Structure 1
Amino acid sequence: MSISRRQVIQSAGASALLASVGQQAMAQAQIENLKIVTGFAAGGTSDTTCRRVATKLGGSYAKTATVENKTGAGGQIAIQYVKGQPADGATMLQTPTSMLTIYPHIYKKLPYDPINDITPVSLACVFDFGFAVGPMVPANVKNIADFIVWAKANPSQANFGSPAAGSTPHFVGALLGRHAGVDLKHVGYRGTQPAMLDLLGGQIAAVCGPIGDITQHLPTGKVRILATSGAKRNRFAPDVPTFTEQGLKDMEHSEWFAFFLPGKAAPDVVARLNSAVKAALASKDVIDGMGTFGLETMSSSPAELATILKKDTVKWGPIVKAIGFTADA
């Protein structure tokens, strides 16, 4: 958009006054404390995303920025909490998109409206899922075909954990069982890290979750990743073949984390936070830090995020119907 010459402040005195007013307005607009809310436990990828971004927003967008982990109900509690907060830019939600795109297909009634109760701000990152096994599964199980054979021979132990019932990794695991003709029993957790602890302890056979939540446990020697869910091999686990490479079609699924404000946030509030989040995600230390957790930073405009959510909501409808899962008793 061009600006006409008549719009330019020609007086040096007027320019100085305008700068002074702008600085005062910015000071008045700065939030005292930004609260970033996640529905998942500390130590996981969702929590890490919040904390990396908080280090950049504290002192710039807000005087301080803190993270609150409101776990439970597969991420619903955090969304329900944020929807009830003032839409003044002081409380921001960070959530995987499955709580907004899949849950409407599996719950007859949600405690929030994915369209009206929250306001899109920006994407945060994109990531693939990994399907990993632990000590319960014999060491000779090295790929998906081996796992299917083992699962059929050990039906009472054929299970997998995910960060939440109804989440994308839950459906990735369910699709694996459906393709293989195996009844893989699902165990939902409050985040991937609690599931990984049970995997390491031999309480469950496998975990499907964000790749970064799994790779951080590889040094223990107790975890083996059998497949990743992307269209191509994941750069954080380049030696692991994808589901597609192993002959399983329709198993290409990645997910996004994204930031939201409470519903009906004013456009200027959304724009200011979007700008601050984009700057935070573009900083090298945030990119590198999130990369250690298998996360590829990716920002967007609020409109682009709204479009992605709409597209993914449509995509998951027939998948959920085919699997036949419902979260309602």
Structure 2
Amino acid sequence: MTLARRQFLAATGGAFAFSSLAGLPRLASAQTLVEQTRVLCGFPAGGTTDAVSRRVAEKLRGSFAKMALVENKAGVGGRLAVEELKRSAPDGSTMLMTPAAMITLYPHIYRNINYGIDDVTPVCTGAIVQFALAVGPAVPESVRTLKDFLAWAKANPSKANYATPGAGSPNHFVAALLAKESGVELNHVPYRGSAPGVTDLVGGQIASMSSPIGDHLPHLKSGKVRVLATSGPQRSRFLPDVPTYAEQGFKTLTMQEWYGFFLPPRTPADIVNRAAAAIKAAVSTQETIDAFAQLGLEASANTPAELQKMVREENAAWGPIVKRIGFTPEG
């Protein structure tokens, strides 16, 4: 299977459309509400993962739990929150909201990781994000396409660098695969999150950046940032004039990442299904759809079984990719 099919499944968007939850139980009654649930977020307040967590958590009150609070348990790239979920009671009092990489990719990267895909119980997705390759003032105005950028990078190897929100992230692997596929050497400059990388991109301190689309949307009007490619199976509705990597000859770079909700291992099916129904209702509201759009996210929800299938397929697909890139946390 291609990377697009095996790893990111977004080409079959119907597989996790809102309507896919039609068979789940109705939202919980007052008698079945969890007293309080904490939604673990493995990243600091103010970021995209935190925003998704808070937007959904506030709508879980009264539908899944009497009280729902976000707990930011930041550290080691989101792994602390997953480890905390693994240790938590399987009674609905603890939930995790995380980007896919923490579950599907990290087990292939970190030797000392303390969890695997069987240590979480999939509930459903909440949102999907595409990645974008953007260039800033450090790259000549004449560079307008991916082909232009690769030609410029080949002619200027000392300047041919790209930022990402972190080493070992999907954003990193998109750009690393671009370098492999094109045969053009690109130097990776990892940052601790998107914000400092975007600042250096806009300021001309770094040539390009591979990161979620939402990172670049606020800077397009100024003209200082130009997005050259997006990673989805189709053009992003946020950047309809920007061609995908696939359209520009790089079909294996069709990737998207989902944000998903998980419960502890061995959580009873009735709790899982009630949580999935409540999250589906939360992300289906126009208010949430619009709020996610401001971040460059597409609201989306699927079933526990569908998410479990995605987790297993993507986890299997990441292994060969990590091996091909040759990435290690120290390298």
Which TM-score tier does this pair reach, normalised by the shorter chain? 0.7 to 0.9
Cα pair 1:108 1:328 within 8 Å, conserved: no
Please list the CA deviations of residues 236-282 of structure 1 after superposition, one character each: whole Å capped at 9, or x if unmatched.
10011111222223111112111011222222221221111111111
Aligned with residue 100 of structure 1, among 87, 100, 103? 103
Cα pair 1:41 1:193 within 8 Å, conserved: no
Deviation at 1:306, TM superposition (A): 0.6
Q: TM-score, normalised by structure 2?
A: 0.84
The change in CA–CA distance for 1:66 and 1:137 in structure 2 (over 3 A counts) is farther
**Matching residue of 1:49:** 52
- Percent identity between the two aligned chains: 50
Which one-letter code corresponds to 1:227 in the other structure?
Answer: A
**Matching residue of 1:208:** 210
**Matching residue of 2:242:** 240
- Counterpart Cα distance in 2 of 1:297 and 1:314: 25
Deviation at 1:309, TM superposition (A): 0.8
Cα pair 1:229 1:254 within 8 Å, conserved: yes
Superposed CA RMSD in Å reads 2.2
The change in CA–CA distance for 1:140 and 1:197 in structure 2 (over 3 A counts) is same
Aligned with residue 170 of structure 1, among 169, 172, 177? 172
**Matching residue of 2:308:** 306
- Counterpart Cα distance in 1 of 2:222 and 2:36: 38
Q: TM-score, normalised by structure 1?
A: 0.84
> Which of 1 and 2 has greater Rg?
1
Gapped runs of 5+ residues in structure 1? 1-24
Higher RCO, 1 or 2 (CA under 8 Å, sep at least 6)?
2
Secondary structure at 1:199 match in 2: helix
Which one-letter code corresponds to 2:279 in the other structure?
Answer: V
Is it true that 1:115 corresponds to 2:118 in the alignment?
yes
Matches within 5 A, 1:284-303: 284-303=286-305
The change in CA–CA distance for 1:218 and 1:64 in structure 2 (over 3 A counts) is farther
Gapped runs of 5+ residues in structure 2? 1-27
- Counterpart Cα distance in 2 of 1:150 and 1:62: 54
- Counterpart Cα distance in 2 of 1:87 and 1:135: 51
Cα pair 1:106 1:328 within 8 Å, conserved: no
- Counterpart Cα distance in 2 of 1:145 and 1:288: 34
- Counterpart Cα distance in 2 of 1:60 and 1:45: 23
**Matching residue of 2:326:** 324
Which one-letter code corresponds to 1:208 in the other structure?
Answer: S
Deviation at 1:28, TM superposition (A): 5.4
- Counterpart Cα distance in 1 of 2:161 and 2:62: 46
Deviation at 1:191, TM superposition (A): 3.2
**Matching residue of 2:155:** 153
